[in-house]
C-alpha cells in the first residue's frame, strides 16, 4: 500500500514507519517536527527510496490534502496527537486543537482524496475499570481527563465521517505502549533516565494503578492488519495481556537498568497524585483476534528487557 502516517516522528509513528517499510509498503511521514528530527529518524531507521518525509502541521488541511494527492496515498494512519494526561490537565487547549481539530482536518483531507483512514485511539476513552473485567468494543466511552475526552471526540468524528460520507475508516483503542523511541515524559524512559542520572524516581500517589502494557511492534502489526483486512467502519480494542501496577513496572525497569549498567538504584519518591488518575485499565482483544487473527505475539518480559537495552545503547536518540 501507499501509506501516510501523521505523527511519523513520534514514538509509535517511527516504529510504524519501520514496520511498513519492512513489509515493502511505500510510506510518507507527515509531522510538524524539524528537518533535524527527520534526519535523526532516518539515521536510526532503515529508510530508503520508499520513504518520504513531509514537514507539516495537522492544522494545515490544504497541505494534508495536497500531500495525500501528490503521493497517491491509499491509507492514512492517523497517529499524531497530544498525549500527556498531566499537560492536558494543566492546559487542555492544545489537546482540543490537535486531537479534535487536527482529526477533523485529516478526515476532510481523506474525504476530498478518497484515502482510507485508520484512527489510533486509546483505552483511556473508556474511563476507569474496577478490580475485575476488561474493556471491550461495547464499553461506553466515558473519558475522565481532557486528553481522554479529546481522543474520544476523535472516535466520534471518525464514526460520523464513515456513516455520513461513506469514508472508509477503522479505529483501534490500544493500551499503554512501550518500546524504542518513546518520549522522555513517559514512564519507562523516565525510570531509565532517573537511574542513569542517580535521581529519585517519582511516582504519582500510591503507585498501585494497573495498566495493560502493549509492545509497540505488536501494536504496529495490529494497525497494519486493520488497514489490510478490516471491514470498513471496523472498531477494535488492542491489548498486550500484560497487566502490571506502576510500582511493578518501575521495579522491573529499574532492576534491569541496574543489572546492565551497574549504577546504584535510586530511591522511589511518592509525589502528589494527579487530579484524575484512573485505577485500572485492561483490554479484551478477542474481537480482533477472531476477525483478523491478530494477537500480541511478543513475550512481555523479554520485550521489556530488550526495551531497556535499546535505551541504554541509544542515549543520543532520546536523551
Reference 6, options 45, 49, 72, 63; nearest CA is: 63
The CA distance from 298 to 283, in Å, is 16
The CA distance from 62 to 23, in Å, is 30
The pLDDT value given to residue 46 = 62
The pLDDT value given to residue 74 = 98
- Hey, which residues are catalytic here? 123-124, 147
The CA distance from 122 to 136, in Å, is 12
pLDDT tens, position by position, 88-138: 999 999 999 999 999 999 999 999 999 999 999 999 999 999 999 999 999
Question: What domains can you pick out in the chain, each with its CATH number?
Answer: 2-182+213-241+282-297 (3.40.50.720)
Q: What is the mean pLDDT of residues 194-198?
A: 96
The CA distance from 37 to 56, in Å, is 13
% of the chain exceeding 70 in pLDDT: 96
Cβ burial 70-90 (10 Å sphere, 16+ → b, else e)? ebebbbbbbbbbbbebeebee
pLDDT tens, position by position, 36-84: 455 556 556 666 779 999 999 999 999 999 999 999 999 999 999 999 9
Three-state SS at 265: coil
Reference 192, options 128, 127, 252; nearest CA is: 252
The CA distance from 309 to 303, in Å, is 10
Report how many helices (DSSP H) and strands (DSSP E) the chain contains, helices first: 12, 12
Reference 189, options 31, 298, 8, 317; nearest CA is: 317
Q: Are 157 and 291 in contact (CB under 8 A)?
A: no
Q: Given phi > 0 = left and psi -120 to 50 = alpha, else beta, which region is 88? A: alpha
Q: Are 127 and 135 in contact (CB under 8 A)?
A: no
The pLDDT value given to residue 33 = 78
The pLDDT value given to residue 317 = 80
Grid coordinates of 18: 519501520
Amino acid at each position: 500500500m501507499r501509506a501516510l502516517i501523521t505523527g511519523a516522528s513520534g514514538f509509535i509513528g517511527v516504529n510504524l514507519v519501520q514496520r511498513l517499510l519492512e513489509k515493502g509498503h511505500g510510506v510518507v511521514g507527515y509531522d510538524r517536527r524539524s528537518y533535524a528530527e527527520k534526519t535523526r529518524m532516518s539515521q536510526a531507521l532503515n529508510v530508503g527510496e520508499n520513504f518520504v518525509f513531509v514537514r507539516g502541521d495537522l492544522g494545515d488541511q490544504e497541505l494534508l490534502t495536497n500531500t495525500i494527492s501528490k503521493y497517491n496515498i491509499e491509507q492514512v494512519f492517523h497517529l499524531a496527537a497530544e498525549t500527556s494526561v498531566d499537560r492536558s490537565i494543566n492546559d487542555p487547549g492544545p489537546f482540543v486543537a490537535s486531537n479534535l481539530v487536527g482529526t477533523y482536518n485529516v478526515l476532510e483531507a481523506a474525504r476530498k482524496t478518497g484515502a482510507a483512514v485508520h484512527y489510533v485511539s486509546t483505552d483511556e476513552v473508556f474511563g476507569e475499570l474496577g478490580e475485575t473485567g476488561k474493556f471491550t468494543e461495547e464499553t461506553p466511552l466515558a473519558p475522565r481527563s481532557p486528553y481522554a475526552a479529546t481522543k474520544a471526540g476523535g472516535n466520534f468524528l471518525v464514526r460520523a465521517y464513515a456513516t455520513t460520507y461513506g469514508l472508509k475508516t477503522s479505529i483501534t483503542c490500544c493500551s499503554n505502549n512501550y518500546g524504542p523511541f518513546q518520549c522522555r515524559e513517559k514512564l519507562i524512559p523516565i525510570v531509565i533516565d532517573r537511574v542513569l542520572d542517580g535521581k529519585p524516581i517519582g511516582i504519582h500517589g500510591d503507585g498501585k494503578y494497573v495498566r495493560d502494557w502493549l509492545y509497540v511492534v505488536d501494536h504496529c502489526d495490529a494497525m497494519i492488519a486493520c488497514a489490510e483486512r478490516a471491514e470498513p467502519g471496523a472498531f477494535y480494542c488492542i491489548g498486550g495481556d500484560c497487566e502490571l501496577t506502576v510500582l511493578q513496572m518501575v521495579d522491573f525497569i529499574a532492576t534491569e537498568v541496574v543489572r546492565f549498567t551497574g549504577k546504584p538504584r535510586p530511591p522511589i519518591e511518592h509525589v502528589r497524585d494527579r487530579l484524575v488518575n484512573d485505577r485500572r485499565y485492561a483490554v479484551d482483544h478477542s474481537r480482533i483476534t477472531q476477525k483478523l487473527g491478530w494477537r500480541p505475539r511478543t513475550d512481555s518480559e523479554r520485550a521489556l528487557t530488550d526495551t531497556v537495552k535499546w535505551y541504554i545503547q541509544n542515549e543520543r536518540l532520546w536523551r
